[in-house]
Amino acid sequence: MRSTIKPIKSWRTVFLDTSVIIDFWKDPSRFSKNPTEKKRIENIQNVIEFLSAQNEKCRIHISTISISEILKSDLTSKMAHHLITTFSGSNVVFEEFTVDVAELIHSHILDYLPVGQVNQLIKQKTTSGVSWGRQWVSDDLKILATALSIKSKLDAVLTSDTHVFAEVAKKMDLPFVDTVKIPRDGFGGLDYDAGFNI
């Protein structure tokens, strides 16, 4: 398992979870009563702005499953506009959920799902008599399988979801980053030069 992530300034290929994209659009001042959430949002905004400024040096990868999640939300038109204006640069790559990615899930589902979800899937299968269905695979697993399909290129997978997404990312040995734990410099800003543990 990977234990360190190289410094942010060295990242060349980064994968964003849906939670990070949504947090990027939030106003951190609205979260003054929740310092952890405010810090996470500020960290995400600073990192994405830094990476976007790198333009050709860094590629930001986003799963088409994330796009689907955003577009089916209640704020569809606003989110769609944000999505187009924020991530239309030449350094953004949209990763498709392909048959090969689906096969990664199918061949390793029991290795990657948290025990509780595995038990729930098994119970559903045995009580309903229905075979393993695609509808049972969470969007998180689809997004993570998409990241796994490009794992050899990835420097970091950014997420705000420290529960299911992070747990499965660990099992997949992906270089995921809890966006609250991004290192800070002596002045309280993000430390783009420091490597950090995951």
| Predicted TM-score of the model (pTM) | 0.82
CA distances from residue 103 to 97, 107, 108, 145 in whole angstroms, order as listed: 10, 6, 8, 9
Counting the structural domains of the chain, the total is 1
Q: Domain with 176 in it: what CATH number?
A: 3.40.50.1010
Q: Which domain holds residue 154?
A: 4-197
Q: List per-residue pLDDT tens for the chain, 198 residues long.
A: 445 789 999 999 999 998 898 898 889 999 999 999 999 999 999 998 898 887 678 889 999 888 887 777 665 566 666 666 666 667 788 899 889 888 888 777 767 776 677 666 666 655 555 544 444 457 888 899 999 999 999 999 999 988 778 888 888 889 988 888 888 888 888 899 988 766
What integer pLDDT is reported at residue 14 of this predicted model? 94
What integer pLDDT is reported at residue 22 of this predicted model? 87
